[in-house]
Structure 1
């Protein structure tokens, strides 16, 4: 009987085979009886904006020094090797991990067991299909939802509850023989273990391990061109309308003549932000831009 690897990912969105990327991945290893034997988690630099940051609560500054997925693919594969992969809503996690592995040049398909689907068998009286609902029905604590490691830990406990009623069959992930890189970057702790993968990350974003300096608000005059990027707290159209009413020109792309880029997160790794840094266009927050508009009025 194989052992298990419980996985969870946080992503920039839902388009695994499109433009969205993994920004955090966690693995909790279990023995045949569901006892935890190891865990691993790392942030991932997606090379783009972070999408719905209000969901996963990961800041661009957190991933600024994180490795790209290709740099952690070996470690991930080693953590999964010879184990049955387990996840809550496995289709989502497996789709993203498979797509990221393929981009890294690894022709592997992630398959396994889904605790959400297995809930029909083991938790018939649950209130819903979400991880929170299944954990509540099984008496499992779920702390800090939408953190990859916390969700993986909760899913591991949920799966251990299932194992009490019999182990479902699953196919172990193959041993791929990739080199496991000693890289680990944890959210909130600014922890960097090892050095593999950090060189080269800075090439697209700045100095590895150091977030870009925050731009000071700049004076605006009517006719200045402004660009917006990221999912802001106020809808994009609200900011565009305010800018236009103030006499500014809203544009969808950054050029050398752009006066300021307004970002949901000033440390964003979006393509607009990368171009703005190349052209030395200031990148400011919503709050700073609001203050700039007030001074313009």
Structure 2
């Protein structure tokens, strides 16, 4: 394992792969990755290891970890000392931090470790609600900034992407905005147990997401609060294998009770979420029998009457095409423009040019954007995909050059 640096101020982004999501019950961590970033968001190091949970591995079709690999992996107590050093004096970052922090604290508790001071943590999913206007899944947030997320559901991939997402937020808000938070992170008490060898995955198979997972990544936010968003994120974890175990049901109920979500709100979230799934499924103009079966299965899991789905899939949802960017299209002072791709002129030059006309250049695609300018208007980048989802026009660099040079 790469040597661990001395404690210093900065961020430590973590991601767990787990047997399930009931941290306080029988589920366990089976993989962790930690990414260090400087206060300005620059990534400086990454560590990862499998963890032997001493039980079955849960949904192996999702995380792709085999029992053969786990047999050689350390138990959590064997990585605790190094993990504590990696987190010491740093703000702990995670996407849906409620999930990862609960597993971190549960596993540390089983290892009989007490940090001496509280962890200082921040959630990029919650940040996205502020900075991206409702995007919630890691895939959706990464698409808004064109951050690569190839090989999701591996702790190292998800942690790295989350750290890059954090860096994008830091860059867009300014380092001074984070100074107070960074100053709250203190040194953690050392762990007295023995240090084991970390064991990273070696055989990583290509992951092919299912139809359901592909549309889950594109579902718009249907929540009205951070707590609702975290509940929906837990629901999404259940949906991937189209099965809701009794342990998962208990965990969802426990989360709703802990956060004070009333039954009516939960039922509304289920209905709205299913409606959003159906709309995304219709995006290509057709719903196959397999897709229809998946949607009905989701309805049953969410206890939404199947008739609602049957009615929804019987009639195509009207897909509104993005408006064409013609000569009549005009940018006004205060409008937001997003640039993507390698252009002939430096991006900084275009940003300066836009500022001179009172136009705001932003790094991420949100619903507030008026226009996306791409090196290739047919781009398949995450930013271009988000623009099409939101109905935002996409133009080439020449469109800008004709009007603002």
Give the TM-score normalised by structure 2.
0.45
Q: Deviations over 1:176-213 (max 9, x none)?
A: 122572511011259xxxxxxxxxxxxxxxxxxxxxxx
1:94 corresponds to 2:105: no
1:120 to 112, 129, 132: 129
1:129 corresponds to 2:136: yes
What pairs up with 1:1-297 in 2 under 5 angstroms? Answer: 2-108=9-115, 110-124=119-133, 128-164=135-171, 165-166=173-174, 167-168=177-178, 169-170=180-181, 171-172=184-185, 174-178=187-191, 181=195, 183-188=197-202
Of 159-168 and 68-77, deviating more is 159-168
Kept after mapping to 2: 8 A contact 1:87/1:113: yes
Task: Tell me the CA shift for residue 68 of structure 1.
Answer: 0.5
Mapped partners of 1:159, 1:44: distance in 2: 26
Mapped partners of 1:35, 1:51: distance in 2: 34
Task: Tell me the CA shift for residue 107 of structure 1.
Answer: 2.0
Give the TM-score normalised by structure 1.
0.60
Mapped partners of 1:95, 1:234: distance in 2: 24
Q: Deviations over 1:230-273 (max 9, x none)?
A: xxx999xxxxxxxxxxxxxxxxxxxxxxxxxxxxxxxxxxxxxx
Mapped partners of 2:186, 2:158: distance in 1: 21
Instruction: Kindly report structure 1 stretches of 4+ aligned residues shifted beyond 4 Å.
Output: none
Give structure 1 stretches of 5+ with no counterpart.
191-232, 236-297
Task: Tell me the CA shift for residue 110 of structure 1.
Answer: 4.2
Task: Go from structure 1 to structure 2 and tell me whether the alpha carbon gap of 1:21 and 1:234 turns closer, same or farther (over 3 Å shift).
Answer: closer
Kept after mapping to 2: 8 A contact 1:123/1:138: no
> Equivalent residue of 2:58, what SS?
coil
Q: CA RMSD in A?
A: 2.2
> Equivalent residue of 1:151, what SS?
helix
Task: Tell me the CA shift for residue 38 of structure 1.
Answer: 1.3
Number of corresponding residues = 191
Mapped partners of 2:102, 2:38: distance in 1: 25
Mapped partners of 1:110, 1:151: distance in 2: 21
Greater relative contact order structure (CA < 8 Å, 6+ sep): 1
Of 180-189 and 96-105, deviating more is 180-189
Kept after mapping to 2: 8 A contact 1:98/1:110: no
Kept after mapping to 1: 8 A contact 2:114/2:189: no
Give structure 2 stretches of 5+ with no counterpart.
1-7, 205-240, 244-405
Mapped partners of 2:70, 2:76: distance in 1: 12
From the two aligned structures, give the one with the greater strand fraction.
1
